[in-house]
Amino acid sequence: MARKVLVGLSGGVDSTVTALLLQKAGYAVTGVYMKLHENEAYHRENFAKASRVADYLGIDIHFLDLSDTFREAVYDYFVEGYAAGITPNPCVVCNRRIKFGALVDFADSLGIETVATGHYARREGEAIYMARDKSKDQSYFLAEVRREVIPRLLFPLGERYKSDVKRLAASIEPLRQIAEQKESSEICFVENDYTEILARHMPIDREGEVLNEAGEVVGSHRGYMHYTIGKRRGFTVRGAHEPHYVLSLDARNNRIVVGTRDRLAKRRFRIGRINLFTEAREFYALVKVRYRSEAVPGWVVIEGEEGIVELERDVFGLAQGQFAVFYEGERLLGGGEILGE
């Protein structure tokens, strides 16, 4: 009997090719479309695409409404994080709570052991590794996934390059339109800019003071939620002869602190919300402090519910609320939320 697999179908090229490859490999594929946010037009369009894929493959597809769970676990976390002056990472949280949390629970309800998605990452045994296509690698976003579910996951695109995935879809007439469509945004519920989401819930355009590190008022800005650590535009600094960057945010007083680029350099910081795929509590690793940042070697020491990361060289733009993610070579070791210095 063919092994059953539940595939998350979004209507996009990656999930489509994932289902196609698994069916070709002999799996009994069942599809599921996850409704996450509240954009009804978005879901009508994409569920229709996912349904066309299911029809082409001759498989069943379920419509799974996870919008209430998503709102509480991901959307509210995103909004409340920016309101508090941190830089949240909703995709990391979503993968733990939704895509490899609620989706795995749904698979259990269907009696299906294995779950697959179109993520660009590799799973070998009980470990996750970077994808072959480093320009598309998404292993960073899997750092908070529960360790016990890893053996149940499949990532068929992990060994492939994006160009090959699109070429495969384009070679099949009923799938060609999906292959040619525009790439989806990194954060599914953000269409253009994250501030558009925040403005639905609170006033974000409130002029405030720009301070230097000595606490002196040196300019003005348009509202602290428009800024993240390392941003260098959109505020004024009187008398500045070189570029200034956002060093920190004061949400309570609607202030931002700025300084020259060298003041962004950090080597040591604290982490919380720790999730590891190793038993070690002190280890050497390659550390990424943002999805697109270069991995920097350093030591990680876990002490109770928090940890300390000591890097061998500076990183710039370290932001509270983002995730530090750890690797041994290409193997994902886990990560933790950046708490500050």
Residues annotated catalytic, as ranges: 94, 188
CA triple 70-82-147, angle to 5 deg? 45
Residue 295 φ then ψ, to 5°: -75, 135
> What is each CA distance from 170 to 9, 14, 158, in whole angstroms?
17, 12, 19
SS3 at position 131? coil
Q: How far apart are CA 133 and CA 143, in angstroms?
A: 18
> What is each CA distance from 122 to 126, 137, 144, 147, in whole angstroms?
11, 9, 16, 15
Tokens 């993968």 label which residue? Answer: 95
Q: How far apart are CA 251 and CA 248, in angstroms?
A: 10
Beta strand extents in the chain (DSSP E only): 4-8, 28-35, 61-65, 114-116, 121-124, 127-130, 153-154, 208-211, 217-221, 245-250, 255-259, 266-276, 282-288, 296-303, 306-315, 323-328, 331-340
Say which DSSP state 334 is in. E
Of 98, 95, 94, 90, which Cα lies nearest the Cα of 128? 95
What is the residue type of 165? V
Is residue 33 within 8 Å of residue 9, measured between CB atoms? Answer: yes
